[in-house]
Amino acid sequence: MPKSPKRCEELRIEMRNKIIHESIRYFAKNGFSGTKISDLAKHIGIGQGTLYVYFESKEMLFQEIYKIINREEDIEQLKILTFLPLSAKDKIHKLSKRVLRQLEEDESFAAVVALNTQALLEQDKECSADGTTYQTKLYQYMVKIIEQGQMEGSVVNGNPLKLADYYWGVVYLYALKKLFTTKYELINSDDLERTLLKLAK
């Protein structure tokens, strides 16, 4: 009799995760058309054929990644923060600290941010504005915090959606830095907060 089906299943899941995990960073760095299957396979350390055992095509692998980077946990956490009984200034501080920590600790967070932002930028082309993407939801909660801050007088004036866009844009910048530069020096949390806050003397 052959290998136990159970063990086989385990191995499949393990390999599938390995491929996805390694591909996320590779795609984020090189883009879809900049990623050759031969290179990607070499980078993961598997044969080209193996990729096709787990995914129908390059396109499908990419789509699979897009499903995975829609991290509900992140959105949930921001939602909770949004409705906490805190000043907007405190919320922005907490959020900024958290985001920067994640950028530092979580190996693939930078790739997740980069891919999501790129998707948002290119969404304009495809006109698939269903408003339910990762970024779009992050924007919605951010707008709430910004509006609160504007009422409280701690956040600068201006279109809240534009300011939210600016804030997440700066996060995207540092995700790019982390992805591309070898010696990555973490941004200061203050710099990130300053995208929104009126700084008192």
Partner DNA sequence: CATTTTTGAATGAATATTTGTTCATTGATA
Partner DNA sequence: TATCAATGAACAAATATTCATTCAAAAATG
Residue 200 touches a copy of itself, criterion: CB under 8 A: yes
Q: Which stretch binds a copy of itself (CB under 8 A): 2-10, 64-72, 140-148, 154-162?
A: 154-162
Closer Cβ to DNA, 59 or 76, answer by number: 59
Cβ within 8 Å of residue 38, ≥6 positions away: 48
Lookup result for tokens 């995914």: 55
Closer Cβ to a copy of itself, 69 or 163, answer by number: 163
- Per-position b or e across 147-176, b if 16+ CB within 10 A of its CB: ebbbeeebbeeeebeebbeebbebbbebbb
Please state, in angstroms and as integers, the Cα–Cα distance from residue 141 to each residue in 7, 154, 173, following that order: 43, 17, 20
What is the amino acid identity at position 53? Answer: V
CB 110 within 8 Å of CB 69: no
Site residues (vs DNA, CB under 7 A): 1-5, 7-8, 11-12, 15, 33, 35-38, 46-50, 52-54, 56-59
Closer Cβ to a copy of itself, 91 or 178, answer by number: 178
Site string for a copy of itself, 26-55 (x = CB under 8 A): -----xxxx---------------------
Residues 69 and 119: their CA atoms lie apart, in Å, by 11
Closest distance to DNA from the beta carbon of 65 (Å): 14
CB 108 within 8 Å of CB 174: no
Residue 87 touches a copy of itself, criterion: CB under 8 A: no
Closest distance to DNA from the beta carbon of 30 (Å): 10
Output the six-digit token pair for 143.
Answer: 């707008």
Closer Cβ to DNA, 57 or 188, answer by number: 57
User: What is residue 156's three-state secondary structure?
Assistant: coil
User: Which stretches of the chain bind a copy of itself, using CB under 8 A?
Assistant: 31-34, 121-122, 124-125, 156, 158-159, 162-163, 166, 169-170, 172-173, 176-177, 180-182, 185, 187-188, 190-191, 194-195, 198-201
